[in-house]
A and B are shown apart, each in its own frame.
Chain A
Amino acid sequence: MSNPDPRDELVDHLPAMRAFAMSLTRNSATADDMVQDTLVKAWTNIDKFEVGTNLRAWLFTILRNTYYSSRRKAKREVADVDGVFTESLSQKPDHDGRLQMADFRTAFAQLPDEQREALILVGASGFAYEEAANMCNVAVGTIKSRVNRGRAKLAELMHLNDDEAMELTDDATMAVVAARVNGALR
């Protein structure tokens, strides 16, 4: 069995690292700086990587730690978010995929970092809740609740709550939802 140097595999993870960094920072220049820092840290600390474990998870962990420590330093200095906040949400659900995508991006960018992160790790990168929890150094339940809160917020921002109306029993809520649906539908 050959023993490949994990450093040779770093390049294979670059697209995923950039995609994850983009979703965290919402800014391509900041994302690339983050990936660069992560690469240097990974390279120089490769002896701390346990061969046989998930390299991507290890890299993502470094990346997110880099992000959160720089965020702490920046003390919530408002990031330049590639203009996503300048667009406002469209008023109604739309069947046009592109418009819906734009809405999604806008809504997604508004979520707290921790919820965006959990959604990307679990919903898009295919990590298990347990893996995501390890990477974020929190309990599995915390990841689950971040995912759920993130989904709920996205649904609200994108006016996707309509089909949940069927599950609601409270009459007053039903009335409000019905009014919203009627107002929102073409």
Chain B
Amino acid sequence: MGQNDKRPRGGDTINANLKRVYDEALQEDIPDRFKDLLAQLKAQDSEKESGGETSK
């Protein structure tokens, strides 16, 4: 970032709103489906690793 932009007030309002919209979305709770999905992907991988390589 570093660059300080000197924008008219309209620009400040837009920046503030942008950040607010984004931050509000950031603060939403993460649905369980994503953690479940990650756990599932992880389980699949460890299965592949331990359950023998695909024979060629």
- Which chain A residues have a beta carbon within 8 Å of chain B's beta carbons? 7, 10-11, 14-16, 18-19, 22-23, 32, 35-36, 39-40, 43-44, 100-101, 104-105, 108, 119-120, 123-126, 128, 151, 154-155, 158, 160-164, 167
Instruction: Give B9-56 interface residues, CB cut-off 8 Å to A.
Output: 9-11, 13-15, 17-23, 25-28, 30-31, 33-35, 37-38, 41-42
Given A32-B33, A123-B19: A11 and B10 within 8 A (CB)? no
The 7 sampled A-B contact pairs (Cβ below 8 Å) are: A19-B28, A39-B37, A104-B17, A123-B15, A124-B18, A124-B21, A155-B10
Which residue in B1, B34, B37 is a CB contact (below 8 Å) of A126? B1
Partner of A104, one of B21, B25, B41: B21
Q: Say whether chain A's binding surface is mostly helix, strand, loop, or mixed.
A: helix
A-B contact count (CB 8 A): 91
Q: Across the interface, which residues of B come within 8 angstroms of A7, CB to CB?
A: 41-42
Chain A residues contacting B20 (CB-CB under 8 Å) are 101, 104
Q: Are B30 and A19 in contact (CB under 8 A)?
A: no
Tell whether, in the assembled complex, residue B14 and residue A155 are in contact, meaning their CB atoms are under 8 Å apart.
Answer: yes
Q: Which residues of B contact A155 (CB under 8 A)?
A: 10-11, 14
Q: How far is the CA of A160 from the CA of B8 in the complex (A)?
A: 10
Contact residues in B for A22 (Cβ distance below 8 Å): 25
Q: Whole-angstrom distance between the alpha carbons of A108 and B42 in the complex?
A: 37
Q: Which residues of A contact B34 (CB under 8 A)?
A: 11, 14, 35-36, 39
Cβ contact of A19, chosen from B10, B22, B38, cutoff 8 A: B22
